[in-house]
Amino acid sequence: EAESNPTQSAPTLPTLPPFSGTIFIDPDIITPADPSTYVALVPAGQDTRVMFDRRAAWITTDPFLFDATYDDGLTIEVQVNPEFGSSAASQVVAEFYAEVIGRLPTALRIEVETVWIHKGIQLFGGGNNNILIHVGQGDSYIADGILEETLMHESVHTSLDAAHATAAR
């Protein structure tokens, strides 16, 4: 019969996480086949906004604006860079991303007030009550099957970091 050793210490926790990034753990955490809480996208014209664009840092521009509504009561203002050329072209891209964002749990969208959408192959971002999207990079995430996981990762920065990023393990 084995005796317990009361002086035995607890196992040492690793100092580094086991993955190089959370978007690469599994491409099927959320899939395009999963339901979305997305309900509708209502055009709201154009108006001046300050947006972050990884190609140029902070910019002041007049994006095409859309109000995305979700069946859990949340609303997000989607701001599409005017480089897309028209309200109609901007609406297509805004609807696509609004529906994908609707696949995220409510808890991960609760602090998302705006979405910035730009052209370009630049990394997505999260924080500042926002999700940053560059559609060229989005195409790469779609091809790799990790678009939803990337948006989930960025929404964690937006909705959970303020309360949990500095918490003890």
Mean of all residue pLDDT scores within the chain: 88
d(CA 73, CA 75): 7
pLDDT in tens, 44-68: 999 999 999 999 999 999 999 999 9
Mean pLDDT of 101-127: 96
Q: pLDDT value at position 30?
A: 83
Phi-psi region of 57 (alpha: psi -120 to 50; beta: other; left: phi over 0): left
Give the pLDDT score at 1.
46
Q: Which one is predicted more confidently, 99 or 21? A: 99
| pLDDT band at residue 169 under the 50/70/90 scheme | low
What are the pLDDT digits (tens) for 80-89? 999 999 999 9
Q: At which residue do the structure tokens 């990079």 appear?
A: 137
Q: pLDDT confidence of 16, banded at 50, 70, 90?
A: low
For residue 108, which of 138, 75, 151 has the smallest C-alpha distance?
151
Q: How far is the C-alpha of 77 from the C-alpha of 21, rounded, in Å?
A: 28
Per-residue pLDDT, 112: 96
End-to-end CA distance of the chain: 35
- On the question of pLDDT at 75 being above 50, the answer is yes
- Phi, psi (rounded to 5 degrees) for 150: -70, -45
pLDDT, one tens digit per residue, over 121-139 is 999 999 999 999 999 999 9
What does the alpha-carbon distance between residue 110 and residue 78 come to, in Å, rounded to a whole number?
15
